[in-house]
Each structure stands twice: as C-alpha cells, then as structure tokens.
Amino acid sequence: MSGILSTKIAGLALEHPVLNASGILGSDPEHIDILASHGFSAIVTKTFTLNPREGYNPPVLVELRSGGFLNAIGLANPGVQGIKPLVDRARFLGKPIIVSIGGSSIEEFNRVAEVAEDSGASAVELNLSCPHVKGHGLELGSDPTTVFLVTREVSSILKIPVIVKLGLSDRVVESAGKALEAGARALTLINTIRALAIDVYSFKPVLSNIHGGLSGPPIKPIALRVVYDVYKEYKAEIIGCGGISNWIDTAEFILAGARAVQVGSAFLKSRKVVHEIIEGIKSWLSVLGYSNIEELVGRAHS
C-alpha cells in the first residue's frame, strides 16, 4: 500500500490508520483471520481478564432505531490462556496485535499484561472504560488517580507499548493526562457510553444487564470532542474510537488529533467499511495535495 496512508502509533508502524475496535469479534484464532482479511492494519483483541468470564445472559446486543448498537457482553472471555493463540495467528498473518486487558485490581492488570507480552503481543491496551461491568472499567478510568496508578504499574513491568483506553467521564481530559504521565505511549478515546433501551411491549429493559454500552453514529460527535480536547491539552498520540462509519468521520478524527482510528459497529453492518475508508482518505489527501496522512494530524487546531 502507498506510504501516503502510513502512520505510527505508540511506536507501531501501520500501513494505514484503520484498526478494529476491541470486542467486535470473539476469542477464536479464526476471528483474527476474518479481521485481517478485511484489511485492518493492526488487530485489537477483545478484552482479556486473568480468569475466564462467562459474561451476561442474552439478550446482550440490540440494534437501535438511531442507527447505533447497545451491548452488554460482560467482558466474556476465556481468560489469559486465550491470548497466545490469537497472538500467534496475528503474527503468522504479519499483523501487529494489540491485546486489550481488563482487571479489577492492579495485580490483575499486571498479570494479564505479562502474559500478553510473553505471548508476543505488539502492545497492550488497558481497558479502563467498560461502561457495564462494575469494577472493571469506567469506575477506574473516571478516577485520574487510579488511571495513574494502574498505568504506572503496568508500564513499569513491560517492554512493549502501553495504550490506555478511556471512556466518557467528566474528568476524561485529566485522566488522559495522568495516563500519559504514568507512561502510556498512546490513548484510545473513547469506549461505548452507558445507555438504556426499553421494550415498550414487555415494559422491561431490553438487555439482561439493564444498562449497556451505546456505540455507533450517535456517539461520534462526543468521541470527536474528547479527541479534540485531549489533543489540544497534551498533543498526545491518540487512536480515535466511537461511531466512525466512513472516510469523512475518519478525516474529522485525524484533523482533531488522532493518528489512527478504531472501527467497530460500522464493521458489523458492512464488511467493506475498511476498504471504503482507505480509498476515501487516499482521495482526500490527493485532492488536498498532501503526501502523508500525518501532515494533517491535529490540523483543526491550527
């Protein structure tokens, strides 16, 4: 692929800026094949915890009339034993792989991170932002002090880059700063947003967990605002995530300060979305007369 789209994030060289968002597929090695075949420049795994988690009972996913999705999977995963098969598969395919990790304590984050590094992961992404699992996400990421402590401890024991994924909170800019201060090489902004859907015939919440994470187009302007604000404050390396559906969305995130993006809900609706984004961004750069995408990172601030 032409170098016009090449970029770097957390020291990882990418042929283009489009990654998958964590959790859009499961934990089988075959899922790595699917993601790679659709052109993502790097693979992000679903979130792994130290021990297996069964997640919530169905229903756990609903498509909304607004065009987005509401999900409460519950961080279902096979535990750390599931990491190495995915890493091995991605490395066989020549794809950088970022292992998403979760935990309810610093010790758990450390142990999962060590397994990821020992398995050959390219980087880890600390999930400090899950909006529907108590003690495993948003409560951690919305407290800047906790963000600092978790990030510092994990960064201190790893040689591979640490990326911190933060969700929407009143203190997200402060939390971002604390993550960077503690050693994060990059930030993923943002995760899904806590939300609710109710069945008007049964009179009950649709999801078994009641609350879920809202994703897709409805949250894009919010995610874009967070990327803009964090980049303005810290000039950090950022992966934009939240409602990205096409090349224009991607271009907005780049101009706001993102060096790469993650696509989730749009991939569930169209397996052509990666190709369409890549071709659209190439045409955009050509029309504007730029030789590399990195020349436009953060240009909305100039």
As a whole number of angstroms, the distance between CA 8 and CA 226 comes to 21
Instruction: Provide the token pair at 35.
Output: 């993601």
Q: Is residue 221 assigned to a domain?
A: yes
Q: Which domain holds residue 285?
A: 3-56+74-191+217-301
Q: Is 130 a catalytic residue?
A: yes
Domain assignment present for 23: yes
Flag whether 124 is in a domain.
yes
pLDDT greater than 80 at residue 131: no
Q: Note the pLDDT of residue 139.
A: 64
Report d(CA 28, CA 18) in Å as an integer: 21
Q: Is 202 exposed, middle or buried (0-12, 13-18, 19+ CB in 10 A)?
A: exposed
* 67, part of any domain: no
Cβ contact 109:117 at 8 Å: no
The DSSP line for the chain is --GGG-EEETTEEESSSEEEPTTSS-SSHHHHHHHHHTT-SSEEPPPB-SS-B--PPSP-EEE-TTS-EEE-----B--GGGHHHHHHHHHHTT--EEEEE--SSHHHHHHHHHHHHHTT-SEEEEEE--SSSTTSSHHHHT-HHHHHHHHHHHHHH-SS-EEEEE---TTHHHHHHHHHHTT-SEEEE---EEEE-EETTTTEESSTTSEEEEESGGGHHHHHHHHHHHHHHH---EEEESS--SHHHHHHHHHHTEEEEEE-HHHHH-TTHHHHHHHHHHHHHHHHT-S-GGGGTTGGG-
| pLDDT single digits (tens) 88-99 | 999 999 999 999
Residue 202 lies in a domain: no
pLDDT tens per residue across span 216-256: 999 999 999 999 999 999 999 999 999 999 999 999 999 99
Q: Which residue has the higher pLDDT, 132 or 204?
A: 204
The structure tokens listed for 86 are: 């995915």
203 within some domain:
no
- How much is the average pLDDT of 77-88? 95
Whether residue 132 is predicted with pLDDT greater than 50 in this model: the reply is no
**What percentage of the chain exceeds 70 in pLDDT?**
95
Q: For 164-209, what is each residue's pLDDT tens digit?
A: 999 999 999 999 999 999 999 999 999 999 999 999 999 999 998 8
The number of domains in the chain is: 1
Say whether pLDDT at 140 is over 80. Answer: no
Least confident of 41-55, 65-79, 160-174, 220-234: 65-79
Q: pTM for this one?
A: 0.94
Q: Please indicate, yes or no, if residue 240 is contained in any of the structural domains.
A: yes
Catalytic residue among 9, 113, 130, 219: 130
Decide if pLDDT at 134 tops 70. Answer: no
- Is residue 253 in some structural domain? yes
Q: Give the pLDDT band of residue 1 (cuts 50, 70, 90).
A: very low
CATH number at residue 295: 3.20.20.70
Between strands 12-14 and 7-9, the pairing is: antiparallel
